[in-house]
């Protein structure tokens, strides 16, 4: 994966956190199942962006970006 892929993952992760703020907050505060639900929404969003199912490496890269985005304070990207 290259830097362009990282940008895509970061963009998708930020969009998912904005779309699902309750799950991002739940992830930050360790609410059971919040991370799994947020990760699933991320994979759905990435699949739509790519127009295909993501590879294992893409999925792992997305989860990493999503975890970082969810752990940031709300509104940090505004």
Q: Rounded to the nearest 10 degrees, how much is the dihedral formed by the CA atoms of 60, 62, 64, 66? A: -140
Q: Tell me the pLDDT tens digit for each residue of 39-71.
A: 999 999 999 999 999 999 999 999 999 999 999
Phi-psi region of 33 (alpha: psi -120 to 50; beta: other; left: phi over 0): left
How far apart are the C-alpha atoms of 32 and 74, rounded to whole Å? 20
Model pLDDT, residue 4: 74
Model pLDDT, residue 5: 80
Cβ neighbours of residue 49 under 8 Å, at least 6 residues apart? 8, 12
pTM: 0.87
Output the six-digit token pair for 13: 């992760």
């Amino acid at each position: 994966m290259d830097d362009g892929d990282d940008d895509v993952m970061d963009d998708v992760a930020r969009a998912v956190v904005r779309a699902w703020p309750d799950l991002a907050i739940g992830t930050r505060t360790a609410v059971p199942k919040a991370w799994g639900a947020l990760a699933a929404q991320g994979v759905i969003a990435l699949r739509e962006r790519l127009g295909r199912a993501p590879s294992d490496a893409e999925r792992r890269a997305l989860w990493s970006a999503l975890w970082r985005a969810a752990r940031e304070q709300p509104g940090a990207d505004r």
